[in-house]
Structure 1
Amino acid sequence: MKILTGFILGLLFASALWYCLPHVHRYFPDLPVPNLQKPSTYSHQPEGKVLQSLDNITGDEFRSTEGNGAVLYQLKGKCKLTLNIFGESYKEEISFYLHQGKILSAFETSYSYPNGGFYAEAKTEESFETQQHYLKIMNPVNRRTMTLFEEIASQFKPKFIKAC
């Protein structure tokens, strides 16, 4: 009888967890959620057709000593907006995938320059050696994520954002 009761309680607990897990992000927006996608999904690399490119995005959150830039790409069935922020000893990249004005996915990667960013690496394409600090998967329905996207997107021509 104890085994049967334990089995039934286990099934009930597993069912409740399966039902509630997709809704947990509303109450805990920064809770890390397991990633079921391939790691290559999270790439800031250029892709698709460039719709618009901007240098020096305005806003306190995007200020840096070495500048910043954002690019809006047209992909098949969606768009990608990528922001690069350069500092003296770091680099941050934020990418948003969007469709019809809604964020499908967003992620941020932070890098540092281990040598302080003062010496270019010989025989490499990159100016400085970079070391990845973290990859943060951003919740697309989180208020902070949406506000960040809106601040960046507002600086692009509205016709390009609407085309996405």
Structure 2
Amino acid sequence: MTSYFPQWVQDLNTALSLFGVAITTAGFVLTLYVTYQVSHIRKHYLARGRLPDVIKDIEKIGSTLSAHLDDWPKNERDFAGQLQLANPLLMTASKMVKRADGLEARRLAQRLAKSKKSSQGSKTIDEAWALYYEMQKTVIALKQVEKNMNWE
């Protein structure tokens, strides 16, 4: 089949087509990179904005737990209920921070979930104090993460 265009026009057409494919591919890769970066930045600022509120809520539950421990046999069910309220807050906090930083919160949330399934609220006073101290330790770790975020 003969062409009505000279060879240099056909070569230019081929070169421009290949250039267009390269630019389109580079644009797609750049779009993926920007999407990843925006997602990362969004997660970071969500954590900076929401993490202090979540920590305060966990601290409130911790002070309620402390009050329930003072009158243990009477408030055993209330203690268990407060622990179950803390569980979703701990999971939320662990999702807001980097994987290593959220490890304490994730472990405590998993322990609370197992505790709910296994004992159905029948804990000894020693187990209750251990859970309370672990929650306090988790709050301290989350506060340190929050302070670190202020420097990023």
Q: TM-score, normalised by structure 1?
A: 0.27
Greater Rg over alpha carbons, structure:
2
Structure with the largest fraction of strand: 1
- TM value normalised by structure 2: 0.29
Q: Which has a greater percent of helix? A: 2
The structure showing larger relative contact order (alpha-carbon pairs under 8 Å, at least 6 residues apart) is: 2
